[in-house]
Amino acid sequence: MLYPSIDTLMNKVDSKYKLVTVAAKRARNLQDKHALLLDKTVSHKYVGKALEEISAGVLGAKAHQAKTIEEETQEFLR
């Protein structure tokens, strides 16, 4: 059994694509010697540590809101 489970992770993030993207970016940050957000982790690898942070709720993804055509047009005209 893998920890954390995919079901637990999918409760934290709304799509598998976003989960993979966030975990990969965080794993790269950890590899570049950024501080770990958890006190103790089960995993020894960077991706596992990133997934544990997501599962614990200390790391997540912000939803990007797309601008409407009208908003983009107004910004362009300014």
Domain positions in the chain: 6-77
CATH for 6-77 (3.30.70, 3.40.50, 3.30.1490, 3.90.940): 3.90.940
| pTM: predicted TM-score of the whole model, two decimal places | 0.74
pLDDT at 78 over 90: no
Q: How far apart are CA 72 and CA 12, in angstroms?
A: 31
Average pLDDT, the chain: 85
Start-to-end Cα distance in the chain: 56
Q: How far apart are CA 57 and CA 51, in angstroms?
A: 10
The 10s digit of each residue's pLDDT in 12-50 is 888 999 999 999 999 999 999 888 888 899 999 999 999
pLDDT at 54 over 50: yes
